[in-house]
Chain A
């Protein structure tokens, strides 16, 4: 009998047994969560640094009637921004953000003028560049309804824009020869409310934001070079997104967003120099999570709009959680 029991024990030792196990999450695992699975604010003590590059050319635009048009005159414009983002989790529900960017703007125009009497032609080429630190943003984000307790999260964000970028044209040599401004020249305050629900492998979210622009002064005319009081129109933004895990570390991002900016004022009078604008855009993207690194590539495609560029905006981002 004892022999039989020994044989039996030897046999069952080779058998594979299943039991319920619980995976132990450690901080390094939490820092590797994807854009779908991570909480909407950073956990306490987590620090995330990121680099952002975006690029757009000026080829077509939505006119005042909402129709897509090419820029008619011989001109070429491009804008690229190199941003840095720093985020820190003060508590599990409270996060602070600092964002700033370095701008590279280019606008080139060539005009040829022919005198009908003398038949002498004069070619004027104006090349305007704008290089330098742009405006900076400071934001506080708080999870009003935390995701851990409820089935969805609700968070609010308060953002202050500080005009750290040069607001006026510089090195003015003539009406068309000067360095472009890289800042808006005004403070702004923005409130954003967003909600998110995770239904793995999906996450769905929506947001609404309102930005109030304060008064400022800047030069609008390079001939007179007089600083005038102005205020941009306030900005309303809203969007819906659905992000999908294609596999464990790649997410397909989808966002539809809409914004509307009111008409601006110069010397307290509504001005055509600061027209009202709006745009509805679709933003697909791929977001890769490689351990603590996150790399994403997205394109913002304007679908409808008024008084806005209609060319796609390419955005590359790299982030790391410390």
Chain B
């Protein structure tokens, strides 16, 4: 009897100890940490069902050069007309199913472009008069809100994915051009007078009309290498109207009046092709080639419609994606302009922070 008690006691003690021994566990099919930390090369084009992602980005661009109408590079900083460009970006998107997501994004930009300073000198036998004109064109404000839906192939992502996206830019931004803020400063000393006119033109952000956008993207993965290609087209739904300010200078005071003009935005096509290498589970490096081209559109000047200049630009963008924690990812690219026509060619650094979560999944 004593022996039986001893055996039962030993079995009970042993079973208690064995409770702390973990065996191989089967990972649930929808483990949110697995999905949140999924490396780029194993991730589909869309978010997973129930996944929410908020992103905030900042682009700092140095506009030190541009491409002219012949495609030749113009060094703006040599003319003293270089400038910088601050662009802030915010996006929120949600995976409705594993194959469909909805999202919205907007932006804020600020930039000031200086023109070459011109001084007119009038020297007579009795007096010297100098008039210096500085011109600054400032653009500042919130952009339109872009809402979209995207779909991908209804299969599990293994090595190939394809998706389409469509949406509208709602003309939510204050796009109407505000009054200029020109100033005049006159200084006279005996027979010499100096007048400085600072022309300060203000512009807002936003298209002013609804604009639609469609895109198609595909992604391939081979082991640690991934390739992605995306084509996007953006076009306005209709013509828009805005105001253009005219000014008159009387003595040292400016007066303004506005004229309404019509415009049609150009159609823009963008093509991105990138190659990515998954160095480790939390670090991905990539090289993207981004090309955009505009076509069509016009702007009215004094009752006559002038065709918008055709633009195109090719940028090379090396970058990386770094997973800091399951919910937090940093993505950074640097942009180097290679060729183009009729457009600025800034060098830029674009940093985006993503915050991901599954709000309804425990």
Contact = CB atoms under 8 A, between A and B. Distances in A.
Interface string B110-135: 00101111111111000001000010
Interface in B188-223: 198
Interface stretch (A46-54, A66-74, A270-278): A66-74
B20 A74 contact: no
A4 B21 CA distance: 22
Contacts of A7: 10
Contacts of A108: 77-80, 82
B119 A114 contact: yes
A246 B21 CA distance: 31
A112 B14 contact: no
A111 B116 CA distance: 7
Interface in A54-81: 57, 59-60, 70-76, 78
B142 interface: no
Interface residues of A, number: 41
Nearest to A112: B118
Interface stretch (A12-20, A88-96, A186-194, A222-230): A12-20
B83 interface: yes
B330 interface: yes
B69 interface: no
Interface in B2-61: 3, 6-7, 10, 13-14, 17-18, 20-22, 60
A221 interface: no
Contacts of A78: 77
Given A15-B17, A311-B84, A116 B121 contact: yes
Interface in A95-123: 106, 108-117
Nearest to B326: A247
Contacts of B77: 76, 78, 106, 108
Given A75-B80, A113-B121, A311-B84, A1 B328 contact: no
Nearest to A11: B14
Given A70-B138, A110-B79, A250 B324 contact: yes
A74 B116 contact: yes
Contacts of A109: 80
Nearest to A7: B10
Interface string A1-30: 100100110011011101000000000000
Contacts of B260: none
Contact of B17 (A12, A115, A250): A12
B112 A110 contact: no
B10 A247 contact: no
Contact of A71 (B13, B114, B116, B138): B114
Contacts of B10: 4, 7-8, 11
A125 interface: yes
B116 A70 contact: no
A305 interface: no
Contacts of B80: 73-76, 108-110, 125
B66 to A, nearest CB: 13
Interface string B68-110: 0000000011111111100000000000000000000000000
A74 B117 contact: yes
Given A72-B136, A113-B119, A59 B83 contact: yes
A129 to B, nearest CB: 12
28 contacts: A4-B6, A4-B7, A4-B10, A8-B10, A12-B13, A14-B18, A16-B20, A18-B20, A59-B83, A70-B112, A73-B114, A73-B117, A74-B80, A74-B115, A74-B116, A108-B78, A108-B80, A110-B78, A110-B79, A110-B116, A112-B116, A112-B119, A114-B120, A116-B120, A125-B80, A246-B324, A286-B330, A314-B349
Interface of B: 3, 6-7, 10, 13-14, 17-18, 20-22, 60, 62, 64, 76-84, 112, 114-123, 129, 134, 136, 138, 198, 324-325, 328, 330, 349
Interface of A: 1, 4, 7-8, 11-12, 14-16, 18, 57, 59-60, 70-76, 78, 106, 108-117, 125, 127, 246-247, 250, 286, 311-312, 314
Given A70-B112, A110-B80, 14 more contacts: A1-B6, A4-B10, A11-B14, A14-B21, A16-B22, A57-B82, A74-B79, A74-B81, A74-B117, A75-B114, A76-B76, A76-B77, A116-B122, A312-B60
